[in-house]
Amino acid sequence: MKFKSSITLVLTLLIFFSCATNPFTGKKTLALVPNSQLFPTAFAQYNQFLTENNVVTGTKESEMITRVGQRIAVAAERWLNANGNQGYLNDYKWEYNLVNDATINAWCMPGGKIVFYTGILPVAQNEAAVAAIMGHEVAHALANHGQQRMSAGMVQQGVNVLGNVALDEKSRNVFNQYYGVGSNVLGMLPFSRAHETEADRIGLILTAIAGYNPDEAANLWRRMGAASGGQAPPEFLSTHPATTTRITNLEALAPTAKAEAKKFGIKSFRPVTPY
């Protein structure tokens, strides 16, 4: 029992002293892996990815990805500076690349390394939708969602080890039977869905500050839903909110994003025209 209590205390103290502050919410978040370690690793992985994939350069599409990315980065810096977070992006090394791949996806690694796959462009259809995607992916990085997921995974593994060390054989068997599924369905999956919703909110604000109409985000997700053919697991078993939930949230958030953009002098948006 003493051994169990000692491990619990160490785990609790580790979590307590390994926190960062989310600049967009003001809330404390798990940060068991500091950005000083995370960013260099992400940069190295990104460079390796680029050497192993077909990067598109010198096209209108690749230039658009860079243009939109730069505008979103500027919007992020403007918002952070205006809200008392000067210097937050000092360690970011922004980079935007388009990769020739039919996958309908885009992502931003910790520290600002971004990839769009060509497969997502026909679904986006216009630059405003690309900005909505870019804003969402950048928001994940700015809010340190990757760091939080890694930290949560470490906690999940730590609790698993604690359970196997502290419990007797009979209790251990029951624990192992239910812990993996239970911690995912009741912990990790809701955690991931919350990150997606938060990235939608932050990303929509960045999109608007960058001069793109945030209304297009909901239209984008209507097209994303059509592209998926309606194939998706139940929301409670998914890392992402259901498409209908997402559309409803984005429509509700658009007026807030527009109001936030007005604070930065953005009173109208670029036309939403097909590229």
In angstroms, the CA 93 to CA 222 distance is 32
Residue 273 covered by a domain: no
Alpha helices (runs of H) in the chain, residue ranges in sequence order = 2-17, 35-52, 60-82, 121-124, 127-142, 145-166, 169-183, 189-209, 216-227, 243-262
Residue 49 covered by a domain: yes
Residues in the chain: 275
The domain in which residue 175 lies consists of 2-262
Residue 275 covered by a domain: no
How many beta carbons lie within 10 A of that of residue 243, not counting itself? 17
Q: What does R_g of the chain's alpha carbons equal in angstroms?
A: 20
The total domain count for the chain is: 1
Q: What is the mean pLDDT of the chain?
A: 82
Residue 27 covered by a domain: yes
Q: Which residues are catalytic?
A: 137
What pLDDT band is residue 9 in, cutting at 50, 70 and 90?
very low
Q: What is the CATH number of the domain that holds 152?
A: 3.40.390
Alpha helices (runs of H) in 89-210, residue ranges in sequence order = 121-124, 127-142, 145-166, 169-183, 189-209
Residue 122 covered by a domain: yes
pLDDT value of position 271: 92
- Please indicate, yes or no, whether the overall pTM of this predicted structure exceeds 0.85: no
- At residue 228's C-alpha, the angle toward residues 222 and 232, to 5°, is 100
pLDDT value of position 192: 66
